[in-house]
A and B are shown apart, each in its own frame.
Chain A
């Protein structure tokens, strides 16, 4: 069935672009993918809130497994004093990475905590002791200063990849895949395009948006370095057309670098790797394949800024920008905070919870994880904390599936969610595989749309676990 590139957003983009007084000739744009949904974006809560630097918390809790792939082996002992940025964990396998102290202090006894995603992890808690730059100084230390956009040929492609691993970088867009595995000179599969993902299609979240507006040059420097490492012929930054100020900032920063900006249609899940690739280069990543199968490396804007810092200043990833937003937060904000800070401390920094707060979600509302314990620590992949009120959650009562096919109409993977969910419910593994259950990436578009409020994603998740247990 034809899945191709739909150009229906074109007109709207032109108007947006024209209204901004931008000339984007030569910039690929207005691409999109088939299906998907348009949830209310709720971004106005925090999109104009400039990034604030959080004061150093008294304590951070660093999980030894923050990424897809293998965990870290701890390199420090309890009661040991560590400096800010000191190596405290080393990757156990190739698909794994390093871990650094995000505050100076004293390592505490390891404890096991439950992360927001429900996994139980060993952690290294660090009690803060000693000095860490604060406020503007910390901002300048991390994002400030000059970021070169020329003369980057001095950095060797393999060295760039090694620096990235040494800095403990993972995809900051949420998936937390170790970055050095993607950003590395590929000998088997040549990479022609590096796509930098600035879509941030999850409702509410604005951390990437603020970073693009406030620190565009570091993103560009990182993208140039990453592009050099993978040997890409071109670099394209994909941004949704509801973020035109970010497009304007990036356009200024990319001047003379040859980096292109693709203004893509605002639609969920535009920030999914496969769907952004489809929108930008009009190719489909094969089922079960990787972006490299179509000659693409893809990484998030925040990751690119961290790459620049890792390669140029040889500084590890210790802080990240987190949106703390939603109707349940008194002062929705974008916060620069150390990895390992507790969600509760973030909430306190943003004025506390409103009386209507009903659900805390690590990440955005479509794919994020709800959790209840405010002591849960932030990990490298945490882009946001969305605290929603009961009205925002809008949970409807589950009724019977009326086979209306609306879930089919929105599934960006072109699946039949209702069939897969029912097959999972009846534990029919053969049927769920016939309907390609493993292609589902749990984006939530189907459950969002279902008029019968069937927990489709949850059912599919259970089914996937069954299939995986049955051995594929």
Chain B
């Protein structure tokens, strides 16, 4: 056959490889991460608007912390650099968004190192980790630096930035029974962790994630359903103190958690059914913690607990194959 002639420079080089020989051009891990970054834009913008310099500083600290940690730990394990997949950037931003702006810089750095180092790399890197890295980092500093991150840690009374001079809505309610108006919770002009205050920003980013299929809809749907049902029952049964199921949904880190944290693909189940169960479980745990524990908030622990259950959920939800009974 004429055209295959290796001595000619234009000769085609034929490769052999197993089927399929086509790959979807629109998907890659990097692209999924970029979608998450885009979805984070409204959240980050809102945090900068509300918390100004506090937000900027925390973002800078957490981002550089997780990038440095990724470089360092990957080098220590003698692997190729994985910065290209952007997952360290996502972890850094989500971590920053889940911390209070007033947290001291070293808290952010330690959280980032724990998130990337312990949360991800020692499990074997992206895809191998059992727990959501950002939540591992946050949980570590929450416990180690309880003082700096407890209720009062969110406040900076000397600040000129309005939001940071008040108690967070969740604390104000838990401690003093003060109910923040829903509009404030919706727009996000309240105190709290950087990314959680604006329900609107979380909804916008979350919808983008779902439309782009960078996150599955089943997890937020299950989570919100559980919160609605349990919160609704609490409304009927509990004291009419003005804190309703809507406050539960718009307040605290519920929406941020539902769309950006619980949906982390690596640490959530594989099948649609499994994802829905994961969402239901997370929502239920959040409400149990919020209603019955000493903590005003429950998203972080709920997600970490459900992460631990993910392998089991995967096992329970092995789908029946086509044609199976």
Contact = CB atoms under 8 A, between A and B. Distances in A.
Interface stretch (B57-65, B157-165, B317-325): B317-325
Interface string B263-283: 001111111110100000000
Contacts of A458: 18
Interface in B230-273: 265-273
Contacts of B3: 347, 352-353, 357
Contacts of B29: 399-400, 402, 451-452
A362 B113 CA distance: 51
B21 A359 contact: yes
Interface residues of A, number: 82
Given A370-B15, A370-B17, A405-B216, A439 B24 contact: no
B23 interface: yes
Which of B29, B319, B323 lies at the interface centre, i.e. has the most chain A CB atoms within 10 A of its CB?
Answer: B323
Main secondary structure, interface of A, reads loop
Contact of A451 (B31, B269, B273, B319): B31
A436 B324 CA distance: 10
Interface in A420-454: 434-436, 439, 442, 444, 447-453
A348 B1 CA distance: 7
B77 interface: no
Interface in B1-38: 1-4, 10-25, 27-29, 31-32
A388 B322 contact: no
Contacts of A34: 322
B126 interface: yes
Contacts of B166: none
Contact of B125 (A396, A400, A405): A400
Contact of B4 (A374, A400, A448): A374
Interface string A29-41: 0000110010110
A310 to B, nearest CB: 31
Contacts of A247: none
Given A1-B273, A353-B12, A361-B21, A449 B27 contact: yes
A122 interface: no
A369 B19 contact: yes
Interface stretch (A158-166, A279-287, A331-339): A279-287
Nearest to A395: B23
Interface string A319-347: 00000000010000000000000101101
A414 interface: yes
B323 A274 contact: yes
Contact of B27 (A3, A274, A406, A439): A406
A60 to B, nearest CB: 16
B181 interface: no
Contacts of B275: 405
B85 interface: yes
A447 B1 contact: no
B322 A414 contact: yes
A394 B25 contact: yes
Contact of A448 (B24, B28, B127, B269): B24
B321 A413 contact: yes
A453 B28 CA distance: 7
B23 A367 contact: no
B312 interface: no
A203 B21 CA distance: 11
Nearest to A441: B322
A203 B85 CA distance: 30
Contacts of A289: 323
Given A366-B22, A393-B21, A448-B23, A355 B12 contact: yes
Contacts of B27: 406, 449-451
Given A402-B127, A405-B275, A418 B20 contact: no
A16 interface: no
A403 interface: yes
A404 B270 CA distance: 7
A354 B270 contact: no
A295 interface: no
B310 to A, nearest CB: 9
A461 interface: yes
Contacts of B23: 393-396, 447-448, 453
Contacts of A419: 270, 314
A40 B22 CA distance: 9
B216 to A, nearest CB: 7
A415 B85 CA distance: 27
Contacts of A359: 14-17, 21
B121 to A, nearest CB: 12
Given A371-B16, A439-B324, A408 B270 contact: yes
A414 B321 contact: yes
Interface in B127-159: 127-128
A395 B216 CA distance: 26
A447 B127 contact: no
A409 interface: yes
A381 interface: no
Contacts of B323: 274, 284-287, 289, 413, 439
A403 B324 contact: no
B13 A400 contact: no
Nearest to A438: B321
B317 to A, nearest CB: 9
A457 interface: yes
A463 interface: no
A231 interface: no
Interface string B68-108: 00000000000000000100000000000000000000000
Contact of A457 (B10, B18, B25): B18
Contacts of A436: 318, 321, 324
Q: Kindly name the residue among B15, B16, B20, B128 whose own CB sees the greatest number of chain A CB atoms within 10 A.
A: B20
A355 B32 CA distance: 34
A120 to B, nearest CB: 16
Contacts of A75: none
Contacts of A412: 322
B275 to A, nearest CB: 7
Contact of B28 (A374, A403, A451): A451
Contact of B318 (A371, A435, A449): A435
B12 A442 contact: no
A172 B160 CA distance: 78
B235 to A, nearest CB: 33
Given A344-B1, A357-B3, A439-B324, 15 more contacts: A274-B322, A286-B324, A353-B3, A353-B4, A359-B14, A370-B17, A393-B22, A400-B29, A403-B265, A403-B268, A404-B265, A413-B321, A439-B323, A442-B19, A457-B19
Rank and list the top 6 A-B pairs by shortest CB-CB distance, nearest first. Answer: A444-B20, A400-B127, A344-B1, A357-B12, A451-B27, A365-B21
Interface of B: 1-4, 10-25, 27-29, 31-32, 85, 125-128, 213, 216, 265-273, 275, 314, 318-325
22 contacts: A33-B322, A284-B323, A287-B322, A342-B1, A352-B2, A354-B12, A357-B14, A358-B15, A359-B16, A361-B21, A365-B19, A372-B16, A392-B22, A401-B127, A403-B268, A405-B216, A408-B271, A419-B314, A444-B19, A448-B24, A452-B127, A453-B23
